[in-house]
Structure 1
Amino acid sequence: MSNFEYSSKTAIPKGVRVFAPEETALRRWAECRILTVFERWGFQEVITPTFEYLEVFSGEPEREGGDKVFKLIDRQTGRLLALRYDPTPQVARLAATTLRHRPLPLRLSYAANIFRDEVPQVGRQRECVQLGVELIGLERPEADAEMVAMAVEGCRALGLQHFQIDVGQIEYVRGIVDTLGLGPDQRRALVSAIDRKDTIEIELLVRGLDADEKSKRAALDLPLLYGGKEVLARARDLAPNRRSQEALRNLTQVYEVLEQYGLADQVIIDLGEAMAFEYHTGVTFAAFAQGVGSEILRGGRYDDLIGRFGYPCPATGFAFDLDKVREAVAAENRPPLATGQRFLVIDFNPDKRHALRIAQLLREKGYSAARDIIKRDLEGSFDYAKRSGIGRAIVLGLPHLPQDELLISDLDSGTEERVPVERFCGEVERGERRWPM
């Protein structure tokens, strides 16, 4: 077989990944932790389509300024379809249609694959999984604070010790940019520079503008508005218009609620935070964790989006990026997932009835139990179990064991225990068997 034939048959498209069992187990563990937090806060899970008519995803990320939607044609209608780019518009439509007559607020959650047609690079995939929530029908600052508090609890549920939540107000940034009289391309360039905190580029962009000096100074100082509560006072002096002033007043109210939650030390105010979808209308936030080059979650308020579907309604929400979460958990050297609840049943007897009974009983009680049905010696079976992440072996039919006994081997600690088969089965069935040995 030629190299070309080999590579063409084994390659996968750029921007997607295949996950090995260990990585998959960690993702499922993280997913379960996050979804459990959502459920505890009263959110109910919904499922949205993998592809939609393109019009559903009409918005674009302000910072990107490009079309990142995977498109295809519906052969039945000739209309353009799109792979799920962002679940939030889909949930917004659900709230405006199927759930329109439900009492507010709606608390909805989702776990969804999303697809973005962008150049693959470190930290960015063209397919990823988002775990998110949408709180629909509340416009008060308490709703935004609840989202941030949930984000903190989600990070803690993952065992993360080193993370922070950066909270901004996109309307504060937009109010400042409004005063500069920029064209669309200039505006996108400035917003991108602000978000990257590139003070040199910001200065180059605003230097020759026909705008008042206070507005220019406000734009130049945006990347510096980063820190604790004191940032709010500094930002108040810079706000050039009513839009920015009202945004700052709103952010102050949200921050005061977060203080009541006891989360002020976990939150950083970042008024230079300019990365947002065009539908965001207020407080935005993102979580950053040690060892990960970009945010592990992002969210914010979007009071106008549901109105596009004929049902004006305020809303806010956020979503974890599951791949980033996995990186963050791995970076903190989280212990490997427990293997003690997984068993390998090894039987050297010609009669396999004991082995089949034991394996079935363990499965019925919620354990993972595989039978080793390949002919090999005991050392080879133990090696297979360890390499497969199986923590315990149950061995029958060894020369020194009576027919009615089994050997339990803890492969992590090396300890062993001989137990009569009937006693072992009875203890497992009654829930009396305790692990470890």
Structure 2
Amino acid sequence: MENSFDFIPEGVMDIHSDEYAAKEKIIDRIKKSFKGYGYHQVSTPAFEYYDTFTALGGLSKEKMFKLIDQKGRILVLRPDMTIPIARMAAGKSGYQKYSYVSSIFRMNDKQNGMKREFIQAGVEFLGNDKEDADGEIIAIAIEILLKNEISDFQIDMGHVGFCKALLNECEISKGQQTQIQYLIEQKNLAELKDYIKACKIKNTTAKAILEIPSLYGSADKVIERASSLIQNDEMKKAIENLEKVYTILKDYGYDKYITIDLGVINPMHYYTGIVFKGYIHDYGKTILSGGRYDQLIKADGRGLPAVGFGLNVDKLMEVLEMYNLNDKPCYTDFLVLYKEENRKSAFRMASDLRDKGFIVETDGCKESLKEQIFHAAARNIKEIIEIKGNMLKVISLKNNHVYGGAIDEFMKRIEMGQLFGSIH
């Protein structure tokens, strides 16, 4: 019988200490950015009702992990955070600014390199319908990438209202509209042309639809081209809204990261306005996405304005590893070695060092010092302290220096931030 410890389910993985510590460091940076803009962290259950997502979201039913509770109701492992936060916000008024860092579960195909469990970090700004809120959300996404030392990236920004308003000019079904939107986002011009022809869409509208996949590039050029295709007031409003948000991002100083793409159409059906996706150079996957969803939450029969984004932390980890920006964050400052007669003073010294913020391990001197040095280097231990009565010897594994002196003097110098002089 094969050892069951050799296997884990598809699409999930173990996280070892260095990687875990690196991820915690990244998450800490992200949380600081969220907090700096006034977003308060929340958490939602890992289980939700299946109907909550099928009624409100655009996620494929096949993408969700389903379970059955004791009453026969269908549950799902959380496949998205926007909808649960919308549920939390329902019935509340005024501005609501939430942040989260949570596990997301989706039945992704392992062949496309997507995990079935991944960490997503994001923010949701509810109750604000101004372009300033859209700009703030995108600015936070950009700031997070910059604070993680990534500068070679772009944010593709579009507006779902432009394409939807154009398709409303056509006498076609919702299903046909969805297929056209899919082909636009895939930039599949050949199939798009054939499908539009099969739908018998009038010539002027058909030409405008075929232009959308190529409405990509610098803001000024795309907005000018898109303006020439306007066929109704809703399309005009969408372009004006897009231009205002872009202007706000210019004021943040982030316009160089923005590309306008009116072919960006998020698969989540709840988006109503600005949508955006983030890409990093030489990395072929979307690392973050978001947008405005003003009709997802209903209050007093009206939609509650909202905008947000989510960033895949696991993908960000992959990028940082690709750029060699991840160090080995797991380390120990001191390994204190002792013999039985010095154990009490070694423990006391280790405790004092920990109180001062150092990471300290202790071990009895059973192995040779040479073996201890070998194992310590492998575990990223910076210095070994060997206790000998009231004296000690410090072996630095960073620079191969050896220092020595009295324990009391060593602790005083630690207190003062000084180093021992080398005894060599």
Question: Taking structure 1 as the reference length, what is the TM-score of the superposition?
Answer: 0.89
Q: Secondary structure at the match of 1:125?
A: coil
Q: Distance in 2 between matches of 1:227 and 1:266?
A: 11
Deviation string, structure 1 residues 384-409 (Cα, Å, up to 9, x no partner): 2222233x122214xxxx53332333
Residue matched to 2:158: 168
Change (3 A) 1:217 1:351: same
Aligned-residue offset at 1:279: 0.7
Amino acid in the other structure paired with 2:24:
R
Q: 1:116 aligns with which of 98, 106, 116?
A: 106
Answer whether contact 1:167 1:268 (CA < 8 A) is retained: yes
Alignment map for 1:32-47 (pairs within 5 Å)? 32-47=28-43
Question: Would the aligned equivalents of 1:214 and 1:238 in 2 still touch at CA under 8 Å?
Answer: no
SS of residue paired to 2:125: strand
Partner of 1:331: 322
Bigger strand share? 2
Shift of the 407–261 alpha-carbon distance from structure 1 to 2, 3 Å rule, reads same
Indicate conservation of the 8 Å contact 2:403/2:421, yes or no. Answer: no
Alignment pair present for 1:248 and 2:239: yes
Give the distance between the partners of 2:420 and 2:113, measured in 1 at CA. Answer: 40
Ranges in structure 2 where 5+ consecutive residues have no aligned partner: none
**1:70 and 2:65 aligned:** yes
Alpha-carbon distance in structure 2 between the residues aligned to 1:152 and 1:436:
46
Cα offset, 1:236, TM superposition: 1.0
Please give the alpha-carbon distance, in whole angstroms, between the structure 2 residues aligned to 1:192 and 1:409.
63
SS at structure 1 position matched to 2:231: coil
Match of 1:210 among 200, 203, 209: 200
1:432: which partner in 2? 417
CA contact (8 A) 2:46 2:78 kept: yes
Name the residue aligned to 2:89: 95
Q: Tell me if structure 1 keeps the 8 A contact 2:275–2:291.
A: yes
**Contact 2:125–2:308, Cα closer than 8 Å, also in 1:** yes
Aligned to 1:278: 269
What's the counterpart of residue 380 of structure 2?
A: 389
Q: CA deviation at 1:111?
A: 1.1
Counterparts of 1:65 and 1:54 in 2: how far apart (Å)?
A: 12
2-structure distance, mates of 1:177, 1:423: 79
Shift of 1:23: 1.3
Contact persistence 2:386–2:394 (CA under 8 A): no
Structure 1 match to 2:333? 342
For residue 370 of structure 1, what is the aligned residue in structure 2? 361
Q: TM-score, normalised by structure 2?
A: 0.91
Q: Counterparts of 1:25-64 in structure 2 under 5 Å? A: 25-59=21-55, 62=58
Count of matched residue positions in the alignment of Structure 1 and Structure 2: 421
Counterpart of 1:201 in structure 2 is 191
Q: What is the CA–CA distance in structure 1 between the aligned matches of 2:104 and 2:203, rounded to whole Å?
A: 43
Amino acid at match of 1:278: H
Which residue identity is paired with 1:249?
A: E
Q: Cα deviation per residue 1:352-378 (whole Å; 9 max; x = unaligned)?
A: 123212322222222222223473222
Distance 1:138 1:72, change over 3 A: same
Range moving further from structure 2, 13-22 or 134-143: 13-22
Kept after mapping to 1: 8 A contact 2:331/2:380: no
Deviates further, 135-144 or 207-216: 207-216
CA distance in 1, matches of 2:303, 2:121: 25
Alignment of 1:178 with 2:163, yes or no, is no
Residues 291 and 331, structure 1, Cα contact 8 Å, conserved in 2: no
Amino acid aligned to 2:69: D
1:297 to 1:413, Cα distance in 2 relative to 1, 3 A = farther
Which ranges in structure 1 are unaligned for 5 or more consecutive residues?
A: none
Shift of 1:52: 1.7
Deviations 1:22-65 (A, max 9, x none): 21111111111101100111111111111122232235765x65
Structure 2 equivalent of residue 232 of structure 1: 223
Q: Shift of residue 109 of structure 1?
A: 0.6
Q: RMSD across aligned C-alpha pairs, in angstroms?
A: 2.5
Q: 1:305 to 1:335 in 2, by over 3 A?
A: closer
SS of alignment partner, residue 238 of structure 1: coil
User: 1:120, CA displacement in angstroms?
Assistant: 2.3
Matched residues in 2 for 1:435 and 1:35: separation? 38
